[in-house]
Amino acid sequence: MNNSILNISLNRGTARIKAALFLGIIAFVIAFSVSVNSTAIAELLRPAMSPEVLSGMWGRVSCAFVMGIVVSILTYFLLALPEKLQSRLVWGLLAIGALSAFYSFDLSFTFIGNKIPFLISQGAVTTIYVSAISILLAFIFAMLGATAKLSGISILKGIGDFYTSYFRGVPLLVQLFLIYLGLPQLGLVIDPIPAAIAALSLVYGAYMTEIFRSGIQSISMGQWEAADALGLARMRTFQKVILPQAMRLIVPPTGNQFIAMLKDSSLVSVVGVWDIMFIARTQGRADFKILEMLITASIIYWMMSMLLEVLQNRIESHYAKSLKH
């Protein structure tokens, strides 16, 4: 039994040929429209085709045509592989494609090499610890917020509603400025990093409050009633019956929020926190090599997000145990 949306098999027959041709045509159109013959990818064709053949409109067509054929053949053979291997290979090929696109930008790699140690030792470390503390606090705020909203006590619900309304409704950057510049007017002079952590955790806590609330509310009333019938106290029911089931629905969107927060932490560079984005911008601007630093920063962010993805998958499968028979 599977639950995929399409029940098409592309492993053999005409479906396999059609799929291969279809992807080949898409590759041709993309390669043609970005005039692939003038990029570094064309260098790969250099042994087979002379520079004259590769230039001009004709070069653009023929180069794109070669790309289309290559993609078609690749797809055709790919479709014969086991399914799991297929998706992994496609992921890998796309990653290589993205990286080679970066490569074709004509970047100074010695510059990147010189700057990467500091980008990691100062920038990535700051980003990680700011995000980690914010994630932890956001989780606590979300738990409190959801509990308040579902407590059945009107005053608590009012507080919870106000919290999610305000902190979801005002942009993160504005919150950050309000906390950093506004609090000192009330006599509380706050440093950049605590201000950043406060803004990130309050805003993401508000988003996650709603995720937690909807997850908890999606568990059917029957579960509460059954627990009531067994004489379980309400709080105990919540902890032992409702929350474990709700977690299955809460974890995927929460993982999403964590990944989003990791990247939104780059906003803190505006108040002078030396995170990845700050170092990348500063070093890039000072040496007029902003693209180099932005691409390096994007790869570091991407790798950190992938780690969070793995973590999310682990937690997801832990809470999905009840579904496996």
Partner 1 sequence: MKKIIKKVLLSAALVAVSASSTSYAGKVIDTVIDNKLLVVATNSDYRPNSFLGDKNELEGFDIDVSREVAKRLGVAVKFVTPGWEIMTAGRWMGRWHMAVGSMTPTVKRAEVLDFPAVYYFTPAGFAVHKDAKAKSISDLNGKVIGVVSTSTYHRYLQKNLNIDALGTPPFEYQVTPGDIRLYGDVNEFDDLALGEGVRLDAIMQSLPVIKQAIAKGIPVKTLGAPVFYEPLAIAIDKGDAQFGNKIAGIIETMKADGSLTAFSLKWHGADYVSVK
Mapped onto helix, strand or coil, the DSSP state of residue 272 is coil
Are 172 and 221 within 8 A, CB to CB? Answer: no
Among 277, 256, 288, smallest CA distance to 173 is for 277
Give 187: exposed, middle or buried? Use CB within 10 Å, 0-12, 13-18, 19+. Answer: exposed
120 binds partner 1 (CB under 8 A): no
Task: Please report how close the Cβ of residue 283 comes to partner 1 at its closest, in angstroms.
Answer: 6
Which range of residues in 89-97, 189-197, 199-207, 243-251 is near partner 1 by CB under 8 A?
189-197
Query: From CA 204, how far away is CA 168, in angstroms rounded?
Result: 8
Site for partner 1 in 143-162 (CB under 8 A): none
Task: Please report how close the Cβ of residue 143 comes to partner 1 at its closest, in angstroms.
Answer: 33
CA distances from 197 to 132, 159, 192, 203, 279 (A): 9, 21, 9, 10, 19
For residue 85, give every residue at least 6 positions away whose Cβ sits within 8 Å of its Cβ, in sequence order, or none.
Answer: none
291 binds partner 1 (CB under 8 A): yes
266 binds partner 1 (CB under 8 A): no
Among 250, 266, 247, 279, smallest CA distance to 305 is for 266
185 binds partner 1 (CB under 8 A): yes
293 binds partner 1 (CB under 8 A): no
301 binds partner 1 (CB under 8 A): no
Site for partner 1 in 202-241 (CB under 8 A): none
**Which of 167, 204, 207, 274 is the binder for partner 1 (CB under 8 A)?**
274
Task: Please report how close the Cβ of residue 284 comes to partner 1 at its closest, in angstroms.
Answer: 7
Residues in touch with partner 1 (CB under 8 A): 114, 118, 122, 180-181, 184-185, 189, 191-192, 270-272, 274, 278-279, 281-291
